[in-house]
Amino acid sequence: MWYSIIMLTQLKHIGLSENEAKAYLAMLELGPSTMLEISARASINRPTAYAQLESLKKKGLVSTQTKGKKQFFIAEDPDQLEILVNQEKKLLSQKQDELGKIMPELKTLFTASGERPQVRYFEGKDGLLKMQEEFLKTKEKIITGIYAVDEVLAVFPEHHETYTPRRLAKKIKTKGIYTSKRGPFLEKEDNEKLLREFKYVPPEKLPISIDITIFDNNVAISTLKGKIGGTIITHPEVAHSFKGIFDFLWKATF
């Protein structure tokens, strides 16, 4: 390679794009040169070379002259790079000054609004699988929730063979209220061995098609019909409130 990788990298560090740096280095070597010559020497296509030269002109690193019908591009003295860096330092200093002036007000607004919930979105079946990975990170080692089991098994027929063994390996308990057209079939399984406790509610009394899962300071809502996806809301008060609702429903469910 005709130019030094170190020089290219350092030019990028001071603010030039890779193609700007290539074009500038090509002009330094070639002297006054045409667009075609610069494009060939820098190994970039002509439209890209033109865009880079226009950008370099705005930065004061390129000048032009016309001889006959040809336009020649000339690299400015590398001292101009130092001027460019000093201009950027000055601009950054101005930004820091401006930020310093409004920072107290910004802090006041942030504090006054209280702690904000963090909301993350997950799309499709792959997104829901990523949400399950989050469930398995629970520090409290217990997951509670309200489940539309038929919809879960429709999306994840392999759920019992894939997710459950991993949950058991981490010794994470689950406690849930569920509905299913199959009736209270989960109670027939060895729930003590499976580290879970469930209560069944008939579909006509609990007509849902989503899952609500609560773990640590998180509430996860999974949409299992139509456009599949989910949301995890992270906020201590939100999670605490949903846990309160779940506990109320648990006690009210016979």
Which domains, ranges and CATH numbers included, belong to the chain? Answer: 5-78 (1.10.10.10), 118-252 (3.30.870.10)
d(CA 211, CA 148) in angstroms, rounded, equals 6
d(CA 95, CA 38) in angstroms, rounded, equals 36
Model confidence at 111, pLDDT cuts 50, 70, 90, reads: low
How big, in percent rounded to 5, are the helix, strand and coil portions of the chain? Answer: 50, 20, 30
The pLDDT tens digits of the residues spanning 112-138 come to 666 678 899 999 999 999 999 999 999
For 254, counting Cβ atoms within 10 Å of its Cβ (0-12 exposed, 13-18 middle, 19+ buried), the class is exposed
Under a CB-based contact definition with an 8 Å cutoff, are residues 18 and 12 in contact? yes
Residue 10 has pLDDT above 80, yes or no: yes
The pLDDT tens digits of the residues spanning 144-192 come to 999 999 999 999 998 888 899 999 999 999 999 999 999 999 888 888 9
d(CA 133, CA 241) in angstroms, rounded, equals 23
d(CA 155, CA 229) in angstroms, rounded, equals 11
Helix, coil or strand: residue 191: coil
Tell me what the mean pLDDT of segment 229-252 comes to: 94
Tell me what the mean pLDDT of segment 239-243 comes to: 95
Cα-based distances in Å from 158 to 129, 153, 164, 165, 205: 12, 7, 10, 11, 27
pTM over 0.85: no
User: What local confidence, expressed as pLDDT, does residue 18 receive?
Assistant: 93
